[in-house]
Structure 1
Amino acid sequence: MSPGQQPQNSPTALTETFHYQNATHTYTLKWTSLGDPNAQPLIFIHGTPWSSRVWSPYALALSRQFHVYLFDNPGFGESPLEQPLPETDTSFAGNIVQELDSDLSRQSEVYAALFKEWQRNWEGRKPHVIAHDHAGLMSLRAYLLHGREYASLCLIDVVAIGPFGQDLFKTVAENPSYFEKLPDMAFEGILESYIRQASFKELNKETMEMLKAPWLREGGKKGFVRQLCQANSRNTDAVESRYDGTIGKDLPIKIIWGANDDWIPVETAHRLGKALGAKEVVEIEGAGHLIMYDQPAQLGVELGRWLNTISGS
């Protein structure tokens, strides 16, 4: 078992595999589901540089009421990075947004395909979707551009509306090969510092090791540098152009944000809420970007209240 990988007997272990191919790439996603297959579906989507494991406690708790789905995005956790087809030109003519999938069009496409595969068993039921970080952009692309229908959407400290940017993103993007060649010890120090910045409270050793593990495996350094370069070129034009303040009339939307988020400031939550027409915007004090570790109980209460309210409406 690779460092940080869940034991196969863990209830949230990703035991299923989904394969997908489009005109330029092939994808292999690891996923699992928990709870009664006849219950209403609930999908958790993680962001960068995390994996589905950030949602494990919530998935276990909510699987008593819902049929819960977890998966690792391409290049994260236990899902390998997308692979270009050998006969296809994937240079994208110098377009950095397309090359790095900085608008998440490819990740959103494969998520939409996985969604369609799951949908075969839903018998007309629509899923609730809970999204964190860049999963906000993924979930909105799937809804607005791929026609995937949700019962509700809960967005937590998400990448979904500009502007974006951190000094580290810019620094790495200016010379990615330098960072790929860093000694392992130096790279791990940068990685750990980056993760610590996402949390308002001190992360315990077990959690820190779990969050670092996927990027410390073979090829992980290159993958992590790629994620930072991708973030430096983040683009949301395809969906932001559709934010007209009325999406929330057809789709119940709740936004939850850490009041102490140093990655994406809390004022973004209110701009996004207005742009989407969200039913509710909630700030959680004493929480940074990793709200599920800073204030796990309060986040759990907010999720439970939201899902019970929407499911009963």
Structure 2
Amino acid sequence: MTAASQHDVALTQSFDYQNATHSFTIKWGSIGDPASPPVVFVHGTPWSSRVWVPYALALSRKFHVYLFDNPGFGDSPLERKLPNTPDSADEVTRLDADLARQSEVFAALFKSWQKEWGNRAAHVVAHDHAGLMTLRAHLLHSCQYASLCLIDVVAIGPFGQSLFKLVAENPGHFEQLPDMAFEGILESYIRQAAFYNLPKETMDMLKAPWLRREDGKSGFVRQLCQANSRNTDAVESRYGEVGQKMPVKIIWGAQDDWIPVETAWRLEKALNAKEVSVIANAGHLVMCDQGAQLGTELGIWLAIAAFGSS
């Protein structure tokens, strides 16, 4: 079990991975009894594993919970291009985090944990672009889950936010923004994801990874470029296989302004999901808007999926 305080889950472990073009270091941590059923939380953009900490702490009484930061998010550094790998002439491609690469790294990390689990499979909880990451890892990289819970996820088109398109068309302009202007855009972007006004401490927690890093500004621009291109073509036609192999639950904020709630029902049909829960008075950041209700939904779902009862 990794070290954790009463109010935190420390990402004290490192996982290194390399493919033909890039190398990666992922910071991760776990909490709970290693003999308990494993649960893996996967964050989206522009968030970090911090959004999952309250749920990890609560569930660690009955589960072995894993948290990690995706490449370039939170405590994990940006991926590093290997020597002699040619630079792209296209500015957006240079900045693009590439969900296909992130999914590949997640799959490798997930499989490294499997060695600890023996014959057990992990329950996976994903938010935002982590939905597509976990689906790609399952369908393209053979990661097997005991269950899958998808919360306001990027997984099925069409997509679109004007800011994604604007940044993708002018990435260099945004990288050159003064720090004060950058923080203003970042805060406005985060605020749009919530239904209620976020408390200062919550806003500061969500902004902090981008403000404290030397590469925070370019990293944020990079993930917005990535958000404009979703890498769904390789898997969307295969979604029907997912619900046949594992129970799938979909949770959505009724007032999600980023990905409308109608997407939940389309995704339910595409994945053959077991159930959909829509949470009222919640936006895309449902864990901040309705944390208690989300916690109840997760607790019941995981209790049934892991132990066969609530």
Match of 1:296 in 2: 291
Whichever residue aligns with residue 29 of structure 1, its letter is I
C-alpha distance in structure 2 between counterparts of 1:233 and 1:270, whole Å: 22
Q: Which amino acid aligns with 1:118?
A: W
| Residue in structure 2 matched with residue 274 of structure 1 by the alignment | 269
The residue that corresponds to 1:204 in the other structure is 199
Q: In the superposition, relative to structure 1, how do residues 219 and 275 fare at CA in structure 2: closer, same or farther (>3 Å)?
A: same
1:79 aligns with 2:60: no
1:226-262: CA deviations, max 9, x gaps?
1111111223111102123x42121100000000000
- Per-residue CA deviation, residues 24-48 of structure 1 (Å, 9 max, x unaligned), is 1000110001000011110000000
- Trace 1:1-313 onto structure 2 (pairs within 5 A): 9=5, 11-89=8-86, 91=88, 100-102=96-98, 104-217=99-212, 218-244=214-240, 246-313=241-308
Contact 2:251 2:276 in 1 (8 A): yes
Are the counterparts in 2 of residues 96 and 233 from structure 1 also a CA contact under 8 Å?
A: no
Deviation sequence 1:41-63 (CA, Å, 0-9, x none): 10000000000000000000001
Range that drifts further, 208-217 or 122-131:
208-217
Q: Take 1:167 and 1:118, find their aligned partners in 2: how far apart are those partners?
A: 38
Unmatched runs of 5 consecutive residues or more in structure 2: none
Q: Distance in 2 between matches of 1:69 and 1:310?
A: 17
TM-score by structure 1 length? 0.93
1:182 deviates by 1.0
Give the conservation status (yes or no) of the 8 Å contact 2:251–2:277: yes
Q: Judge conservation of contact 2:100–2:231 (CA < 8 Å) in 1.
A: no
Aligned partners of 1:97 and 1:235 also within 8 Å = no
C-alpha contact 2:15 2:25 (8 A) present in aligned 1: yes
Check whether the contact 1:8–1:15 (CA below 8 A) recurs between aligned residues: no
* Aligned partner of residue 151 in structure 1, secondary structure: strand
In structure 2, distance between residues paired with 1:272 and 1:89: 38
User: Would the aligned equivalents of 2:92 and 2:171 in 1 still touch at CA under 8 Å?
Assistant: no
Name the CA distance, whole Å, in 2 between partners of 1:148 and 1:78: 24
The number of equivalent residue pairs is 304
Aligned-pair distance for 1:290? 0.3
Please give the secondary structure, in 1, of the residue aligned with 2:74.
coil
